[in-house]
Structure 1
Amino acid sequence: MTDSELARFFLSLVLLLAGALCGGHVFERLKMPRVIGEIVGGIVLGPSVLGLVSPEAQKWLFSGFPAQGALLSAFYWFGLVLLMFTAGFKMQAEGAEGSGRMVAAQVVGGLMIPFALGYAGASLFTQARLGDPLAFQLVMGIAVAVTSIPVISRIFLDLGLMNTPFARNVIGAATIQDVILWTVLAIATAVQHGDSADAAGIGRVIAVTLAFVLVALFVAPAVVRALRRRVFGKFSEASLTGYTLLLCLVFVATASLLNVNIVFAALVAGLVMARFSSRHLAAVRQHIADISIWFFVPIYFALVGLRLDLAHQFDGSLTLFFIGASTAVKLLSSTIAARFAGVAWARAFDYGVAMNTRGGPGIVLASVAYAAGIIDERMFTALVLASILTSLATGLWLRWRLVRSPNVFELAGNVGSTGYERPSRQPANARTTINEAAAAD
């Protein structure tokens, strides 16, 4: 690589990070999720805006020499891995509480039914399929069922709802959903890569994936503790940060060798690290989260926006049909499930809207499925836009509900044996300090 090529590469990184941070700041000031602003920053720098104004400048900045695409792709994947690694911390921290009855209802209504309908309805979108039919069906099922923990958590935090049982129920259900759906995505990518051509092959993929999870969650922590005692001794906080990132990369590299999806492996690594309760590790996780969400993750989301070519890849009918159909399925099934759990229709609709927030996980799904060759660029664009619009809709809806009635969520509590909600013992405007580990918001 020549000096001029190296200078151009660093300039592209500067522009991507600056665009993402500026866009995120503007959207945060507008009380909207940062992730949308970070993507918009990439869209402005990409073929959708800069490419229309000055195609030569856009090409010179981001694809001016052969190796530049590979270098930016490395940042893309590293940002995605760190996003999922830190997301594992947050899942463990925020998914622990909630009404068992409501969480179970939302797992059925927000996961099983939407996934089944998305899987069955994949044939309606076959024009956007590139890869294996089964992998495509699995991806479409996930696309309809996914809920964003980071974005909905940030919305709850901004609105002062984080300590309400309503928020705990939504996050608890979304945590269970996402763990299951990331497992399914790992299977889908394995199918796409030709690791399973028949029922026996699919069984092997599932067995390897589950074995990886079981070893990671139940064997890896003991191995880590043993290595610390016998090999490394005591860690400083700085060195522990390095070893924690090393553990993440070990998980990702091992998963790659086993043909397990690396994004899923990074999530599992985060879940493993969340099981260590040391106060030193809590600080280390925060250090990693800080550098991730303010450097690598914004570059990742900016690159997502950079890859969107709305002038040539946007299929209006496909996008509108997918967003409308998937939203209707998710909203109705989650609302009806909440109603069966014993809450009033108005509160049940709140659950439906909250569970329909696709956010960062929806964008990650689009990225992984597109990179694996499962979906084409039109469906990639549709999935990203669906994630953006549903996140905006949730924030606007919950804010409007609070404007109309500031105390509307004070009774959005756990469902008791009578089938009615019990009032929360904590004020609805109480704020809690969230580990911003997964800030895909």
Structure 2
Amino acid sequence: MITTNGIWEGDNPLDYSLPLFILQLTLVVAATRIFVFLLKPFRQPRVIAEILGGVMLGPSVLGKNKTFANAVFPLRSVMVIETMANVGLLYFLFLVGVEMDITILRSVGKKAVTAAIAGMILPFILGGACTVLLNKQNNSEMNQGTYILFIGVALSVTAFPVLARILAELKLINTDLGRLALSSALINDVCAWILLALAIAMAENETSSFASLWVLLSGAAFVAFCVYAVRPAASWIVKKTPEGESFSEFYISLILAGVMVSGFITDAIGTHSVFGAFVFGLAIPNGPLGVTLVEKLEDFVSGLLLPLFFAISGLKTNIGLVQGSHTWTIIIVVIFLACIGKIVGTLAVAIFYQMPIREGATLGLLMNTKGLVEMIVLNVGKD
């Protein structure tokens, strides 16, 4: 049963899917907003508040109480909340793609490209070396190449959406340093998505190299379809709509349905559904259509559905399991290597291009921005 007959009939609302999901969603949003308020003086991005809200509801804090965990987040409800969380994630990544101006890749200089590559390769190598040692210590039977690829991507990627918001809040987005950081992060993100698609293909098709090849070729074909079919169609919609008038509800609904279809296609071919939504968003041209889509979706997706994704991550996270100095040492070393790799890589670029050392160090710190993409990589890897 989905809905209850009412407490007056003796029913417990938490035994039914819909009222239970409503309560879960309410708690997730409330926990997120509490942390947003608490972290506001520290100027932390909202993604941090969402992660902390999820952890608070999980087994690390409130979930320690078995009565609370079994009543509010029982195992039978996981599929419902995970499904809604992934729907929210699909549309959020679509919006990230819509807001991302890939045309700046044509105009950025060699400095941004070099900074992006240097800031990705060094932490990738350091993280990969660290995971090889961990794999040997744990005698893990998982494919070592896939393991290195997942961890390497998670440690080396820069969160473009989070960095863009931070630069905007600090009013640095139109400075030379801000433009360099944003351009480098965009290139970094594009590389990360390519590597993530490769890692997923390898992880899901370890028994057949031909299957992995077909996954990559199918993914490339989907990208080509978005570039040569979806983008011209979206441009046609913009041209067909008179300037100053709102876009037809039919066109908006068609695009929103296209997000789901794109997610279905990329999931079916062997990459993650979020890859399809992201590429579909990139195919939407910048301008009034993109602005309209963001205005219609952003508050609902970011404020209501996306926090569910972090709640799921929090429910899967039990900080209490991290015990002993050895485990904490490994965590600290991995974080340190990832951060120092970014800083050293970008500092080397700064020295090569005769930039001030302080500016190079600042760029390295900005490139250490983490956020949603890392959470996606780690969740996909965990699954």
TM-score range, shorter chain: 0.7 to 0.9
| Counterpart check, 1:77 vs 2:89 | no
Q: Which residue of 2 aligns with 1:354?
A: 366
CA RMSD across the alignment: 2.7
Q: Which residue of 2 aligns with 1:405?
A: none
- Deviation per CA, 1:8-57, whole angstroms, max 9, x where unpaired? 222111111211122223323431111111111111111111123x2211
**Which has the larger displacement, 203-212 or 78-87?**
203-212
- Deviation per CA, 1:233-289, whole angstroms, max 9, x where unpaired? x9845444322211111111111221122121111011012x264x24421232122
Moved over 6 A (4+): 225-230
Conserved? CA contact 1:94–1:172, under 8 Å: no
* DSSP 3-state at the match of 2:97: helix
**Which has the larger displacement, 285-294 or 261-270?**
285-294
Conserved? CA contact 1:20–1:301, under 8 Å: no
TM-score by length of 2: 0.86
Q: Which residue of 2 aligns with 1:388?
A: none
How much has 1:191 moved relative to structure 2? 1.2
Supply the AA of the counterpart residue of 1:342.
Q
- Deviation per CA, 1:396-432, whole angstroms, max 9, x where unpaired? xxxxxxxxxxxxxxxxxxxxxxxxxxxxxxxxxxxxx
The correspondence for 2:155, drawn from 114, 135, 144, is 144
Following the alignment from structure 1 to structure 2, what is the Cα–Cα distance between the partners of residues 166 and 94? 19
* DSSP 3-state at the match of 1:180: helix
Structure 1: gaps (5+ residues): 372-441
Q: Which residue of 2 aligns with 1:175?
A: 186
Q: Which residue of 1 aligns with 2:9?
A: none
Following the alignment from structure 1 to structure 2, what is the Cα–Cα distance between the partners of residues 311 and 86? 35
Supply the AA of the counterpart residue of 1:305.
G
Q: Which residue of 1 aligns with 2:8?
A: none
| Alignment size in residue pairs | 362
Q: Which residue of 2 aligns with 1:90?
A: 99
**Which has the larger displacement, 120-129 or 43-52?**
120-129
Following the alignment from structure 1 to structure 2, what is the Cα–Cα distance between the partners of residues 146 and 262? 19
Query: 1:131 and 1:269, CA in 2 relative to 1: closer, same or farther beyond 3 A?
Result: farther
Following the alignment from structure 2 to structure 1, what is the Cα–Cα distance between the partners of residues 92 and 112? 25
Q: Which residue of 1 aligns with 2:329?
A: 317
Supply the AA of the counterpart residue of 1:122.
T
Following the alignment from structure 1 to structure 2, what is the Cα–Cα distance between the partners of residues 93 and 283? 19
Structure 2: gaps (5+ residues): 5-12
Supply the AA of the counterpart residue of 1:369.
G
| Counterpart check, 1:9 vs 2:21 | yes
Supply the AA of the counterpart residue of 1:189.
I
Q: Which residue of 1 aligns with 2:307?
A: 298
Query: 1:227 and 1:17, CA in 2 relative to 1: closer, same or farther beyond 3 A?
Result: same
Query: 1:120 and 1:177, CA in 2 relative to 1: closer, same or farther beyond 3 A?
Result: same
Conserved? CA contact 2:126–2:337, under 8 Å: no
TM-score by length of 1: 0.75
- Write the mapping of 1:204-243 to structure 2, written as runs, cut at 5 A: 204-223=214-233, 236-243=247-254
Supply the AA of the counterpart residue of 1:353.
L
Following the alignment from structure 1 to structure 2, what is the Cα–Cα distance between the partners of residues 143 and 337? 22
Following the alignment from structure 2 to structure 1, what is the Cα–Cα distance between the partners of residues 320 and 181? 36
Conserved? CA contact 2:205–2:211, under 8 Å: no
